[in-house]
Structures are given as structure tokens and as C-alpha cells.
Amino acid sequence: QVQLVESGGGLVQAGDSLRLSCAASGRTFSNYAMGWFRQAPGKERVFVAAIRWSSGNTDYEDSVKGRFTISKDNAKKMLYLQMNSLKPEDTAVYYCAADVDGTWILHTREAHYDYWGQGTQVTVSS
């Protein structure tokens, strides 16, 4: 089993930055893929960014390209999402997730991920 805990959310103004963290514990696989998803009130949960743990390959949703950066710390088993130039449209609960088999072509699909954190709230005021 894998446990994931997000932190770093908060209330910020448009144009500000935040860095979200996701701490992983328990039994893990070297071929993991990990991702960030977000869910706004009344909306479905959608893909934000993903990283292949072994290779470091990354992918982003078009709306966050150039503003958000996903990264990892192998030794600490930590996943990060650096969020710059935040907009009110970024307001959502942000979740980290882990896919144990790392099937990269499916990394944007919520149903493919095996483990989820509880989420952290990000609110961006206009």
C-alpha cells in the first residue's frame, strides 16, 4: 500500500505563487508515475500535471503550461507542484496520485491511478 499526503495549499492573490508538496510512504515501485489533479466546486476532477518517476518525463495540461512545474525528490519520496502566476480559475482542491505500473500513455486519466491523497485547498482571489 501507498499513502499520500498533500500540503502547501492556502489563500493567495492573483499573480502570486504557491508550492504544493505530496509526501509518499509505504511500499512503492520504481516504475511509478505520479500526478496532480484538481477539482473545482461543482466540477469534475481533472488532470493538471504528471511525472514518470524513473525517467523524470513530465506532461502538463495546456492551461497550466508555462506557469506550473512538477518535480520530485527521489531520496525524500516527495512530489512537488510549483504554481506561479496563479489565476482565480486555478481555485480548486488539489490532489496527488500514484500509478504503480507507470503506463505513461494513460497518465492523464483519473481512473488509471491507484492511490490518492486527501487533497489540499488552493484559493486564488481576484
Residue 37 CA from chain centroid, whole number = 5
Contact in structure between 68 and 83 (CB atoms under 8 Å): yes
Residue 94 pairs in a beta bridge with: 38, 120
pLDDT at 54: 82
Would you place residue 39 in the very low, low, confident or very high pLDDT band (cuts 50, 70, 90)?
A: very high
Q: What is the pLDDT of residues 60-76, one digit of tens each?
A: 999 999 999 999 998 89
When the pLDDT of each residue in the chain is averaged and rounded to a whole number, the result is 93
pLDDT at 55: 85
Distances (CA, A) of 60 to 44, 49, 67, 110: 18, 4, 10, 14
Q: What is the pLDDT of residues 87-100, one digit of tens each?
A: 999 999 999 999 98
In sequence order, the 6+-apart residues with CB closer than 8 A to the CB of 44 are none
Q: Is the pLDDT of residue 35 over 70?
A: yes
